[in-house]
Amino acid sequence: MLFKLAILVSLLISLAAGDEYPGFIYNGFKSANLVLDGMAQFTANGLLQLTNETKTLNGHAFYPEPITFKNYSNGRAFSFSTTFVFAIHPVYPTLAGHGMAFVIAPTRGLPGARPSQYLGLFNESNNGNASNHVFAVELDTVLTGEFFDINDNHVGIDVNGLHSEISAPAGYYDDQTGDLKNLTLISNQRMQVWVDYNGEKKEINVSLAPFKSGKPITPLLSLSRDLSSVFKTNMFVGFSSSPGSMLTSHYVLGWSFKINGQAQEFLLSQLPKLPRIGPKERSMLLAVGLPLISISLMLAAVTGVVHLVQRKRRFAEVLEDWELEYGPQRFKYKDLYFATKGFRETELLGSGGFGRVYRGVLHNSKLEIAVKRISHESRQGMREFVAEIVSIGHLRHRNLVQLLGYCRRKGELLLVRPIERRAPTQEMVLVDWVFGFWNTGAILEAKDPKLGTDFVAEELELVLKLGLLCSHSEPAARPSMRQVVQYLEKDSPLPELSDLGISTSGLAFAHRKDFDGFVITNSSYMGPRVSTSIADSILSGGR
Ligand SMILES: *[C@@H]1O[C@H](CO)[C@@H](O)[C@H](O)[C@H]1NC(C)=O
Ligand SMILES: *[C@@H]1O[C@H](CO)[C@@H](O)[C@H](O)[C@H]1NC(C)=O
Ligand SMILES: *[C@@H]1O[C@H](CO)[C@@H](O)[C@H](O)[C@H]1NC(C)=O
Ligand SMILES: *[C@@H]1O[C@H](CO)[C@@H](O)[C@H](O)[C@H]1NC(C)=O
Ligand SMILES: *[C@@H]1O[C@H](CO)[C@@H](O)[C@H](O)[C@H]1NC(C)=O
Ligand SMILES: *[C@@H]1O[C@H](CO)[C@@H](O)[C@H](O)[C@H]1NC(C)=O
């Protein structure tokens, strides 16, 4: 197999050798035999660097052997085809000079030629003189008025001088749409150029395209021109470049040439890589990126510290020594804060005279809770008040709102109770519910079904009515403890409810908003009366 391949390769080589017309291909310039002058050099990885960014000096690279460009017998220029891949890297992104050119010249090198706008091709005394016998395709990156340049980014065909025979802004015709697409020569992007001369049609085509996109069907430049008078029989082919004051690197990555035939295509994968854009980019990073990064880091650190301080302040609690024994009943403000989504308005269940009640879900236990915020300005009575709360927290009764615990902050006190999910009919206030039965004349229906039939109807009615009486929204209308005892002992008859403003309208029982949550009257903070008032209000809450 390997043997067969070797035969095939040698056959191809002999066929190529059998072609009498010269041609060559450089897939990169490692160990290339080109003749260099001026600033031109090969880089270690095989790039042909015509100029570098250090000096304003020409750089030339020529194929070492002369090439026969004309038929000896009839003096007509041969067809030729060449293609090359190049890239132009300017020190300053938008400023570069002056460009580079593919050149066919009678000498190997261009002695006497000037740099800058002369592109290392001509000088002020020989520019435009037909005795030069120089053909060039220029990639011109500076607008030079004296040579009638169209802009600072163009491709031109030059014959014996820098005033181009034809030129066009750098670009290519899209094969699909036919649209002209612009290219920027000094973009440090790899691009490919094709130059084809048809000796019979006496026509020169020049195309430019982005790297790897292939030769466009429609050339950028097409010039009818007989090159027979321009060429001498033997000519040298090569490249010329010349940076201006704007220092620029001009690179050739690969080059292919053929007389009377099509220039061979490159093995694109073998072409050398362009140098990474080095020191300038790094200095940009150091000059702009590093300060930006450090400022960002500093800002982040400051923001973090501010956040921590705010968080600490937000979750600060008041904890006194005497509270330590209430450990389990005491909630962390942080937990309540997150449970109620930061006491958000959407979580507000209601607001009473002394505080607002928020819905919440404890993070750990997923327990639904209601949190009442009560503001207290004085610490007077706080110890007793907290003691009451804690003791109520130990009570368990189905008609008693269970108190889970409390939390203290500077200026705020929070009470926590669970929210129980009940059937909607049971959501109503107990007082209203009993009142409803009384209103229809069937107050006994409100009895606890567990009693069964084991009760004295009169006594039950008395207790239920007394309950309603004690729940009167007007505190003055409620019986005193002595009266309650008298009613229960039947020493005194229970007044008719309707006489006390308890009418079918039920208005007297219109419970205050506070009943729905925790009711803590002002006196709550002041001393021992606290317990009854909390118990009262919790009971009248009906849960
Ligand atoms: C630029 O080219 C000159 C001439 O070939 C050479 O002496 C110099 O070292 C090069 N500088 C760089 C940075 O490549
Ligand atoms: C040179 O021109 C002569 C006369 O026109 C022709 O016969 C010959 O084939 C040409 N040679 C080449 C190499 O094209
Ligand atoms: C211009 O170049 C030619 C060679 O092409 C040379 O003989 C001549 O001296 C140069 N003139 C100047 C002014 O450099
Ligand atoms: C062109 O160059 C030749 C040879 O250098 C010289 O004799 C001739 O005078 C030049 N013509 C012009 C118009 O400068
Ligand atoms: C292409 O370049 C030409 C010449 O510089 C300019 O007039 C035109 O607006 C450019 N087109 C686009 C699409 O940039
Ligand atoms: C130049 O391009 C035109 C249009 O694509 C084509 O018809 C012609 O054959 C080309 N000539 C050369 C010398 O490639």
Average pLDDT of every residue of the chain: 80
Domain range for residue 296?
281-311
Angle at 308 between CA 302 and CA 314, to 5 degrees: 135
Alpha-carbon distance 258 to 237, whole Å?
Answer: 11
pLDDT interval class at 490 (50, 70, 90): confident
Q: Is residue 29 part of a domain?
A: yes
- 438 neighbors 362 (Cβ within 8 angstroms): no
In terms of domains, do 75 and 104 share one? yes
The pLDDT value recorded for residue 499 is 66
> Of the bound ligands, which one is closest to the alpha carbon of residue 123?
3
With a cut of 90, say whether residue 333 has pLDDT above it. Answer: no
Q: Is residue 9 part of a domain?
A: no
Q: What is the pLDDT of residue 278?
A: 58
- Compute the distance from residue 221 Cα to the ligand 3 centre, in Å: 30
Count the helix, strand and coil residues of the chain and give each as a percent rounded to the nearest 5: 30, 25, 45
Predicted pLDDT of residue 340 = 87
Report d(CA 212, CA 191) in Å as an integer: 8
Domain termination site, one of 259, 292, 311: 311
**Ligand 6 and 218: CB distance under 6 A:** yes
Residue 126 alpha carbon to ligand 4 centre in Å: 7
- pTM as predicted: 0.57
**Which ligand sits closest to the CA of 207?**
6
Distance, in Å, from the CA atom of 100 to the CA atom of 393, rounded to the nearest integer, reads 91
Give 106-158 pLDDT, tens digit per residue. 999 888 888 888 889 999 999 999 999 999 999 999 888 889 999 989 999 99
Q: What is the pLDDT of residues 389-410, one digit of tens each?
A: 667 666 665 555 667 777 877 6
| Statement to judge: residues 372 and 261 lie in one domain | no
CA angle 532–536–537, rounded 5-degree value: 120
Please report where in the chains the tokens 């008025």 appear, as a residue: 145
**Claim to verify: residue 242 and residue 298 sit in the same structural domain:** no
Verify that 417 and 522 share a domain, yes or no: yes
The span from the CA of 78 to the CA of 255, in Å, is 19
Between CA 17 and CA 114 the distance in angstroms is: 38
Question: CA torsion angle for 482, 484, 488, 493 (degrees, to 10)?
Answer: 100
Is pLDDT larger for residue 388 or for residue 197?
197
Is there a single domain that holds both residue 392 and residue 503? Answer: yes
CA 204 / ligand 4 centre spacing (Å): 26
Pairwise CA distance, residues 291 & 286, whole Å: 8
Residue 2 belongs to a domain? no
Q: What is the largest CA-CA distance in the chain?
A: 152
3-class DSSP assignment, residue 367: coil
Query: Is 10 near ligand 4, meaning CB less than 6 Å away?
Result: no
Task: Specify the pLDDT at position 368.
Answer: 83
What are the φ and ψ backbone dihedral angles of 540, each rounded to 5 degrees?
-70, -15
Q: With a cut of 80, say whether residue 338 has pLDDT above it.
A: yes
Q: 128: CA distance to ligand 4 center in Å?
A: 9
Task: Give CA–CA dist 465/471, Å, rounded.
Answer: 10
Residue 354 domain-assigned? yes
Q: Which residue has its alpha carbon closest to ligand 5 atom 2?
A: 182
Mutate to test the pocket of ligand 4, among 107, 129, 133 (most ligand atoms within 8 A of CB): 129
Q: Are residues 366 and 226 in the same domain?
A: no
- Tell me which residue has its CA closest to atom 8 in ligand 1: 54
CB 370 within 8 A of CB 359: yes
Give the pLDDT of residue 508: 46
Q: Tally the domains of the chain.
A: 3
305 and 390 in a single domain? The answer is: no
Instruction: Tell me the CATH number at 515.
Output: 3.30.200.20
Q: Whose CA is nearest to atom 12 of ligand 1?
A: 52
Place of tokens 């050149």: 103
**Secondary structure letter of residue 248 according to DSSP:** E
Tokens of 379: 């610490």
Nearest 10 degrees: CA dihedral of 317, 320, 324, 326?
-70
Contact status, residue 99 vs residue 141, Cβ threshold 8 Å:
yes
Give 305: exposed, middle or buried? Use CB within 10 Å, 0-12, 13-18, 19+. exposed
Taking the alpha carbons at both ends of the chain, their separation in whole angstroms is 95
Ligand 5 centre and the CA of 182: distance in Å?
Answer: 6
Rg (CA), the chain: 50
Backbone angles phi, psi at 194, to 5 degrees: -120, 130
| Cα–Cα distance, 389 to 331 (Å, whole number) | 13
Q: Is 199 in the pocket of ligand 6 (CB under 6 A)?
A: no
pLDDT of residue 531: 34
Q: What is the DSSP string of 302-327?
A: HHHHHHHHHHHHHT-----GGGGGGG
Q: Do 446 and 303 have their domain in common? A: no
Q: Which of 55-64, 136-145, 176-185, 350-359 has the lowest mean pLDDT?
A: 350-359
pLDDT at 9 over 80: no
198 is a domain residue: yes
Residue 244: CATH number of its domain: 2.60.120.200
Residue 465 has pLDDT above 70, yes or no: yes
